[in-house]
Amino acid sequence: MKEIVTFFFGLGFVFNASLFIPQAIRIFRNKSGRNISLITFAGFKFIQLNGSLYGYYQNDFILIYGNLISFITCGTVTLLATYYRNR
């Protein structure tokens, strides 16, 4: 049972990271990051980075990698929004 819960816990991080992808695609297609709250995404990134650090200190690789993939996809949205706002 523990392995099943661990599997779905890790899978949840994959789903979490994938939720940022449609937003990144929307920004890229519309060439606009006007309707994106950069403060919200900065908060997401802080939480994800903190989660990775916590996973590191707890020796929990699911937390480390799960939060890192979310950090990367969330960072992509943030970078695209920033780029198109300043363009």
Arithmetic mean of pLDDT over the chain: 96
* CATH of range 2-85; options 3.40.640.10, 1.20.1280.290, 1.20.58.220, 3.30.559.10: 1.20.1280.290
The predicted model scores a pTM of: 0.89
CB 31, CB 38: distance < 8 Å: no
Q: Output the six-digit token pair for 9.
A: 């816990």
Check whether 87 has a pLDDT greater than 90: no
Whole-number CA gyration radius for the chain: 15
Q: What is the pLDDT of residues 2-55, one digit of tens each?
A: 999 999 999 999 999 999 999 999 999 999 999 999 999 999 999 999 999 999
pLDDT score, position 40: 96
The distance from CA 71 to its chain's CA centroid, rounded to whole angstroms, is: 4
